[in-house]
Amino acid sequence: MSSTTIKEIIIILITAWVAAGVVNYLADVLPVKRKLATPKCSRCDHAFNITYYILWPSKCPSCGKKVEIRHWVVRISLMLLGMFAWLYGSGIELAFIPALLVIIYFLLVAVIDIEHRLIIHPVSIFGAVLGFVIGFSLHGINVTLLGGIAGFICMLMLYLFGRIFMGWLARLRHRSSGEDALGFGDVILGGVLGLFLGFPGIFISIVLAILSAGVVSLIYILVTLLKREYHANLTIPYGPFLVLGAFVMLFLRNYLQIALNW
């Protein structure tokens, strides 16, 4: 391995490390403040400097609360995905920085939705701008806009169907109302991802999201049944599966095509 290659790897890992700090910062601040703000310890309200996220976060210097495991999961994931973007980014006609920005956005959506069951508007607005730029560079304006419209309409139909089904289920169980299967944030996310993927790629992405969510839900139900902890009002965040489907279509489409042909 040449010194140039080693130097590139070091730069990629440092870039991914800093980007992971930004993702963790945004995931802590945006769901609470809906804007950029000073991050604070959830236990003692001690204000953190942004370098706490970027350098080496370990514990709160005031109360000693340890950093959440999510911080390290995001860091490791982003460094691995950063290396992947460097090695494979050219395979989808995206340079390293645009590919890394897409991965950062996808990861931020997944983390916030898993922890808070939210697809928040500031993240969606950023995703729409990024998705339009990426989609335009990959597909052109017509395919990009059509993908955004198709993604929004498709998720809107699923959202309305889910509301009708959950309402019927609530009446069947003699309850006043049922919890929505999808949030409207998922509908907006469908439109945003449609900009990234264009038409008809967004349809395949949504199908992949539905299949992966179904598999994970089935596994989760089986585990809770075995542990005798199952309850009927089980809901899972849908955002991570939507971005997973989009990630496959953007970065792993060739492998998906090979698998389908096989």
Collapsing DSSP to helix, strand or coil, 88 comes out as: helix
Q: Which residue has the higher pLDDT, 90 or 157?
A: 157
Residue 183 lies inside a defined structural domain of this protein: yes
* Residues 125 and 74 grouped into a single domain: no
Average pLDDT over every residue of 19-44: 87
CA distance 130 to 128: 6
What is the pTM for the complete model shown? 0.89
For 217, other C-beta atoms within 10 Å of its C-beta total 14
Residue 148 lies inside a defined structural domain of this protein: yes
* Residues 89 and 56 grouped into a single domain: yes
Reply yes or no on whether the pLDDT at 78 is more than 90: yes
The tokens 């179904």 sit on which residue? 214
Q: What is the mean pLDDT of the chain?
A: 86
Range of the domain at 151: 117-262
Structural domain count, the chain: 2
* Residues 145 and 40 grouped into a single domain: no
pLDDT for the residue numbered 89:
58
Across the strands, what pairs with 40? Answer: 47
Average pLDDT over every residue of 131-152: 95
Of 93, 127, 156, the domain-final residue: 93
The model's pLDDT over 203-215, given as tens digits with 9 standing for 90+, comes to 999 999 999 999 9
